[in-house]
Amino acid sequence: MTEVAAEPSPFTLAEGRTALIVIDMQRDFLLPGGFGESLGNDVGQLLKVVPPLAALIAAARTAGVMVIHTREGHQPDLSDCPPAKLTRGAPSKRIGDPGKYGRILIRGEYGHDIVDELAPVDGELVIDKPGKGAFYATELQDVLVSAGITQLLVTGVTTEVCVHTTTRETNDRGYECLVVSDCVGSYFPDFQRIGLEMIKAQGGIFGWVADSSAVIPALRGLATTAA
Ligand code: TIU
């Protein structure tokens, strides 16, 4: 059975055409002392995403579903960070400042990398992105087209920022997206709830929503079909 009990309607996983995208599960967003906390956020809100997402990633790997990780961050010289992003607001630390886990949101720093529990395995693609959306200034579209991917299971943080931006980008490029509700997280409980409602409203204006307990059995079905 490869059908997911999703909202607003059932979603059928297409064998060989589905990828799992794991957005920005980086120490900079999840751990105290990183970029997320510098913006004034309670980073503890995001940690609950890790256990269900680890289980979902494991199920995808078993099913032979392509797993793609993304990381938001910038070159050490900040040449890919627009001034509008660099100077926005009044954070306790700015992008590029020294932080607890290295320079804030800078590629190659410990804080920029993915948390240990969700570390990519050999052969999995890691897309480094300078923006909130995973398509902007990255190779993602080329990768998906050459792999024949038409559907994305969308996970990661934060629901209303990089998950939403990426889901909207995929929608405009013709992909079908299922956002996995307990595998995305927000610093703001209200934004989490409303962010998910916005995806599935109006007959699924941006896509579908289901939790991992509905997606994992369908992934197992995919593995059985493929065997
Ligand atoms: N601040 C916030 O909620 N998110 C980001 O800045 N980036 C991502 O969502 N990855």
Residue 73 domain flag = yes
Q: Is the pLDDT of residue 214 over 70?
A: yes
Give the DSSP H/E element, type plus range, for residue 199.
Answer: helix 189-204
Average pLDDT over residues 174-198: 98
In this structure, which amino acid lies at residue 135?
A: F
Residue 54 domain flag = yes
* pLDDT class of 90 with cuts at 50, 70, 90: confident
Percentage of the chain beyond pLDDT 70 is 99
Among residues 93, 129, 132, 200, which one is catalytic? 129
- Residue 129 lies in domain: 2-29+42-88+115-226
Percentage of the chain beyond pLDDT 90 is 94
In this structure, which amino acid lies at residue 2?
A: T
- Tokens linked to 90: 């009044």
* DSSP letter (8 states) at residue 139: S
Residue 195 domain flag = yes
Q: Is the minimum distance from the CB of 67 to ligand 1 under 6 angstroms?
A: no
Residue 103 domain flag = no
pLDDT of residue 164: 98
Q: What is the phi-psi region of residue 16: left when phi exceeds 0, alpha when psi lies from -120 to 50, beta otherwise? A: left
Average pLDDT over residues 208-214: 98
- CATH number of 69's domain: 3.40.50.850
**5-33 pLDDT per residue, tens:** 999 999 999 999 999 999 999 999 999 99
pLDDT of residue 226: 63
**99-118 pLDDT per residue, tens:** 999 999 999 999 999 999 99
pLDDT of residue 112: 98
Active site residue 129: yes
- Tokens linked to 220: 């197992």
**129-147 pLDDT per residue, tens:** 999 999 999 999 999 999 9
Q: Is the pLDDT of residue 224 over 80?
A: no
Q: Is the pLDDT of residue 223 over 90?
A: no
* Residue 126 bridge partners (DSSP): 69
Average pLDDT over residues 89-101: 93
**Listed residue (175, 162, 197, 213) closest to 59, CA to CA:** 213
Active site residue 162: yes
Residue 102 domain flag = no
Q: Is the minimum distance from the CB of 39 to ligand 1 under 6 angstroms?
A: yes
Ligand 1 nearest-atom number relative to CA 39: 1
The rounded distance, in Å, linking the Cα atoms of 185 and 171 is 20
Q: Is the minimum distance from the CB of 109 to ligand 1 under 6 angstroms?
A: no
Residue 143 domain flag = yes
The rounded distance, in Å, linking the Cα atoms of 66 and 83 is 35
Measured CA angle at 133 (ends 132, 136), to 5 deg = 110
In this structure, which amino acid lies at residue 121?
A: V
The rounded distance, in Å, linking the Cα atoms of 210 and 178 is 7
Residue 110 domain flag = no
Give the DSSP H/E element, type plus range, for residue 35.
Answer: helix 35-38
Overall number of domains in the chain: 1
Q: How far is the CA of 1 from the centre of ligand 1 (A)?
A: 35
Nearest CA to ligand 1 atom 8: 162
Q: Is the pTM here over 0.95, yes or no?
A: yes
Q: Is the minimum distance from the CB of 37 to ligand 1 under 6 angstroms?
A: no
Pocket test for ligand 1, best of 104, 129, 161 (most atoms within 8 A of CB): 161
Residue 55 domain flag = yes
